[in-house]
């Protein structure tokens, strides 16, 4: 299953300013698989798994002499680890804090060695230890985007055609059919793999259930006992509140806001939840004008979100995008796609805009930066829908030259409005406006 991040790893390999790379992302998004696939590019590929081999931890205690560590790891791997020819992978590195701290010394003392680290729930350990700025690089890995989904299913030619932004009614309907499948499958590699092999919705949903259960089991690993019920409740409520302003009391009216807030923050660190903050969006950067008291929350995977919502797969396959929450689900899709095609070096931040005024409420689903310009984004689950909020935004934001509408419709450009299909976020990000 080809992943776009593989090309980014190849670029990292030949970067003269390369540093040890920490691969971040939720459980089961394919971090270990990606590194293993990348390892085929090297003469040697050595994996050190800190969960399976606890004895290796002692190599990273006390003084961290990199050459000594490398000699001992070579003995363990039964092969000489050679800088320039070997990819060294520290898997499940969160189990060994000394190994995390050693990354800075690999950069300082052995910069020619290609070294990647990854692990489940790694961000909790990183938050505790801290990583010296300038000593390591980060790469974000998310579930498969819709474009990656097309490639995985063998439809690279369709993906290439979308990038041309040409309108073809027959191909448009064909891609929409694929999109509607993606919107219930989501992008978790195990689910996509099952769909490729079996084309059985029941099997795919069973795997989704197993993934959801594994995430709930993880709550016991990074939360205190008294926090588990609150984290579980937020985990289950996010899909129902998707696309709407997040209100703590709507999660649990009997719990203090501070308790729910802390539970949400834990899910954010775990990579499960993603907040989308309100911004006035008058001037870049968007983060300089955001309001941390007003935000929406999105899930990390649309398929799992739909599963938690109790999606009836028979109903979806017969009438996709005809459900009561179709607008919110379309927003969830766009949130994921915005993140998926962003710069892998840093975590992408989501923003929206909302004006609350008597008889003149207006809300823009997302506000993004492209080529230095602030672009308001309206998401419609169908081609029709009022664009009143977009007009209000453009009238009140002179620095925004145009707005973007994302719907089931085709590509179109008129006046101050650019329209693209729900499946075409990659083409808009990569190409000029």
What's the pLDDT at 322?
59
pLDDT over 80 at 385, yes or no: no
How far is 272 from 186, CA to CA, in rounded Å?
Answer: 14
Give the pLDDT score at 204.
94
326 confidence band (pLDDT: 50, 70, 90): confident
pLDDT tens profile 62-98: 889 999 999 999 999 999 999 999 999 999 999 999 9
- Contact partners, residue 253, CB within 8 Å, separation at least 6: none
Q: How is residue 98 written in tokens?
A: 């000394």
3-state secondary structure of 404: strand
Residue 139's pLDDT is what? 94
Cα separation of 396 and 421, whole Å?
26
In degrees, to the nearest 5, what angle opens at C-alpha 332 toward C-alphas 327 and 333? 95
Q: What is the pLDDT of residue 134?
A: 81
Tell me: pLDDT of 384 over 80: no
- pLDDT of 318 over the 50 cut: yes
Predicted confidence band of residue 324 (pLDDT cuts 50, 70, 90): very low
Confidence tier at 29 by pLDDT (50, 70, 90) = very high
For residue range 259-273, list pLDDT tens digits in order. 999 999 999 999 999
Q: Cβ contacts of residue 390 below 8 Å, gap of 6+?
A: 364, 376, 378, 403, 405, 417
Integer CA distances (angstroms), 377 to 23, 106, 363, 393, 402, in order: 30, 43, 10, 10, 10
The answer to whether the CB of 368 falls within 8 A of the CB of 335 is no
The band of 323, judged by pLDDT with boundaries at 50, 70 and 90, is very low
pLDDT at 127: 86
Alpha-carbon distance of 49 to 70, in angstroms, equals: 15
* Domains of the chain: residue spans and CATH: 5-140 (3.40.50), 146-430 (no CATH)
Closest CA to 299 of 215, 404, 180, 225: 215
The predicted-structure confidence for 154-193, as pLDDT tens digits, reads as follows: 999 999 999 999 999 999 999 999 999 999 999 999 999 9
Q: How far apart are CA 181 and CA 87, in angstroms?
A: 37
Q: How far apart are CA 174 and CA 197, in angstroms?
A: 21
Percent of the chain scored above 90 by pLDDT? 83
Average pLDDT on 225-247 reads: 94
């Amino acid at each position: 299953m080809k992943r776009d991040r593989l090309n980014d790893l190849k670029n990292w390999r030949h970067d003269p300013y390369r540093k040890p790379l920490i691969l971040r992302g939720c459980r089961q998004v394919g971090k270990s698989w990606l590194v293993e696939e990348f390892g085929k590019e090297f003469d040697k590929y050595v994996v050190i798994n800190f969960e399976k081999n606890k004895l290796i931890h002692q190599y990273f205690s006390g003084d961290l002499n990199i050459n000594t560590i490398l000699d001992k790891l070579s003995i363990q791997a039964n092969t000489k680890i050679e800088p320039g020819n070997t990819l060294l992978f520290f898997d499940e590195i969160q189990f060994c804090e000394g190994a995390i701290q050693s990354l800075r010394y690999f950069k300082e003392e052995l910069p020619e060695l290609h070294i990647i680290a990854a692990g489940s729930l790694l961000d909790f350990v990183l938050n505790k230890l801290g990583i010296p700025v300038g000593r390591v690089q980060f790469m974000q890995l998310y579930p498969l985007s819709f474009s990656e989904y097309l490639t995985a299913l063998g439809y690279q030619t369709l993906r290439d055609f979308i990038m041309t932004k040409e309108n073809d009614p027959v191909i448009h309907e064909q891609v929409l059919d694929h999109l509607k499948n993606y919107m219930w499958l989501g992008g978790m590699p195990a689910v996509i793999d099952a769909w490729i092999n079996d084309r059985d919705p029941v099997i795919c949903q069973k795997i989704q259930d197993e993934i959801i259960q594994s995430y709930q089991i993880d709550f016991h690993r990074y939360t205190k006992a008294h926090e588990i019920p609150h984290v579980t409740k937020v985990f289950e409520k996010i899909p129902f509140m998707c696309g709407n302003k997040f209100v703590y009391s709507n999660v649990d009216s009997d719990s203090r806001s501070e308790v729910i807030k802390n539970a949400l923050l834990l899910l954010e660190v775990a990579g499960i939840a993603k907040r989308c903050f309100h911004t006035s969006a008058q001037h870049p950067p968007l983060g300089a004008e955001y309001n941390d008291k007003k935000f929406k929350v999105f899930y990390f995977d649309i398929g799992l979100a739909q599963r938690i919502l109790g999606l009836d797969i028979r109903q979806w396959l017969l009438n996709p995008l005809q459900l009561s929450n179709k607008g919110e689900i379309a927003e969830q899709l766009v949130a994921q796609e915005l993140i998926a095609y962003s710069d892998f070096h840093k975590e992408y931040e989501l923003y929206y805009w909302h004006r609350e005024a008597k008889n003149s409420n207006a809300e823009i689903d997302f506000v993004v930066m492209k080529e230095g310009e602030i672009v308001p984004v309206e998401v419609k689950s169908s081609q029709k829908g009022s664009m009143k909020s977009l007009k209000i935004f453009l009238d009140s934001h002179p620095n925004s030259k145009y707005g973007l509408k994302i719907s089931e419709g085709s590509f179109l450009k008129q006046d101050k409005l650019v329209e693209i299909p729900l499946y075409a976020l990659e083409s808009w990000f990569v190409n000029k406006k």
